[in-house]
Chains A and B, each alone.
Chain A
Amino acid sequence: MSASTPYLKPGLAKPVPAGDGLDAPYWDGLKDGKLILQRCNGCGKFQWGPEWVCHRCHSFDLGWQETVPEGILYSHQRIWHPVHPALAEQGPYVVVLVELPTADNVRIVGNLVGDPMQPLVIGSDVRGVFEHHPDDDPPNTLLQWEVFPG
């Protein structure tokens, strides 16, 4: 799924791949509407955040694997106090930590789209919503989440 409007007001820093290229396939994947995470070719396990070595088997042969953007709400926070001028008029917004059972339970961070005052329930099923920013400089895509089934 893709979002029709951005969740947060514009003006926060735009994500760019790390200078050493460590997470470039992830950001490239999001632009294509795909969730692509680091997966070790040595032991076959996902790891996140990305690193230059597998923390399990110490293999340097780390590949990248697409996984389905469906997960479980692991934790959440409803943020009220703006700490950036871009969010001065935002009002409350929700950040969630999502666990991905299809990727060895690694976790990623995003926003929970919809009413910021919606109930936040740990354990809820959530699915990804790709939020494309083609007109940003540089263009980028964020991965947001919604409770599923809504």
Chain B
Amino acid sequence: MSDRTLRGKVAVAGVAETEYYKWGRSPDPEFKLAIQAILKACENAGVDPRDVDGFSSYSNDRSDASRMSAALGCKQLSFASMQWGGGGGGGSGAVANAAAAVATGQAECVVVFRALAQGQFGRFGQGPRSKVVSGPAAHTLPYGLMSAAHQFAMKVNRYMHDHGVRQEALRAVSLAAYHHAQANPRAVMHGRPLDEAKYDESRWIVEPFHLFDCCLENDGAAAMVLVAAERANDFPHPPCYLLGAVSGSQHRAGATVHNTPEYASSSFTTVAPRLYNMAQVGPADVDVLQSYENFTGGVMMSIVEHGFCTAEEVNDFLTYENLIAPSGKLPLNTSGGNLAECYMHGLGLNIEAVRQIWGESTSQVPGAEISMVTSGPMVTPVSCCIFGSEATL
């Protein structure tokens, strides 16, 4: 195997999140939320925060790495990285960047984090209020195409048309997330179950997305501590290794005004094979999947582009029974995910994937050894990663 891999070179020492709030409800400003999550993750790892020497984030996180290093009194800053791109596309990319720094000796202990306080900085799910618009957005916004849901609905409609996908496949993704959230006391939607009738009767946001096909908007922060694999046994948790992490998108995914050649896609067609090649596993080996849900349709395309089923099998594969832990063929979004746990731009999915390896999920898949995350479908770049137990090395 090539030395040019992250497989088995980095371990997760600790994870944590703040309390998760409905958007705008955080009592604390965004930077303080980030600090809280990072300190909790260090505590979870048994790591002195002063020994953290690197920070990795994505989606233009506003909590600057140098300020964070100073605020925490870190002995030094060895690595500071921001993954390009918006939405949750960088969730696993930020893990990849942090892991690359550790694996190549650039840093010793890198924190991946994401923090959001939409009360402080404004909501995602609203159109801009400017008087004029220029650049690529000028070709869409004056037609009322201005939110994330609008950006992606036409990809999903085209995909459903091309492959005969029924609404029930999207519904199953939502039902599974809400089912898992009922077992997760951290989840914003804990105690608020969803059933088929409630989904079917919910209002359209934009066809084919009902209300429950859309992610939440939340305040909070999440963090993860990465160290070299040699240190994996020095921490309270069972070892959890990174088997692979990659980011990117296919040919001209960033072509503007909806001109990407492979339009009806989650952008993973070239990325997923690179992940499996690095991790030296295939989709049949994956025990549990956390798949970023900006919208359920993106999960559907991510699952196909990662080889769990073909496009023609979506209606049969994406069922509630198949997607729930512990019995389903592919337990999906076992914390409740972005739909029902919290929308922390998907870093909560990476944390949940690690908890599955540790045996600490609130919807645990028994004996989970290989745990996968797909981050930010339909944007560019997207990213994905696979964690494994000691037995997988």
Contact = CB atoms under 8 A, between A and B. Distances in A.
B369 to A, nearest CB: 40
B316 to A, nearest CB: 23
B257 A109 contact: yes
Contacts of B158: 74-75, 122
B263 interface: yes
Contact of A48 (B132, B140, B205, B259): B259
Nearest to A93: B144
A49 B259 contact: yes
Given A13-B133, A107-B258, A78 B206 contact: yes
A109 B258 contact: yes
B250 to A, nearest CB: 14
B257 A78 contact: no
Given A14-B132, A15-B132, A84-B146, A109 B255 contact: no
B141 A13 contact: yes
B60 interface: no
A92 B207 CA distance: 10
B392 to A, nearest CB: 40
B125 A83 contact: yes
Interface string B96-136: 00000000000000000000000000000111111111111
A51 B257 CA distance: 11
Contact of B143 (A49, A110, A140): A110
A81 B132 contact: no
Contacts of B259: 48-49, 106-107
Given A13-B131, A77-B154, A109-B257, A95 B144 contact: yes
A107 B157 CA distance: 16
A66 B295 CA distance: 37
Contact of A15 (B129, B133, B161, B206): B133
A107 B256 CA distance: 10
Interface string A93-114: 1010100000000111111000
B295 to A, nearest CB: 12
Interface residues of A, number: 42
Nearest to B133: A13
A65 B386 CA distance: 48
Contacts of A85: 129
A84 B143 contact: no
A127 B335 CA distance: 47
A90 B256 CA distance: 27
Contacts of A110: 143
B145 interface: yes
Contact of B132 (A13, A77, A79, A84): A13
A95 B206 CA distance: 10
B75 interface: no
A92 B141 CA distance: 16
Interface of A: 8, 12-19, 23, 27, 48-49, 51, 55, 74-81, 83-85, 87, 90, 92-93, 95, 97, 106-111, 122, 138, 140, 142
30 contacts: A12-B127, A12-B146, A13-B141, A14-B142, A15-B142, A18-B135, A18-B138, A27-B138, A49-B259, A75-B158, A76-B157, A77-B150, A77-B153, A78-B207, A79-B144, A79-B150, A79-B153, A80-B204, A80-B206, A81-B203, A83-B150, A84-B126, A93-B144, A95-B145, A97-B154, A107-B259, A107-B263, A109-B143, A111-B143, A111-B144
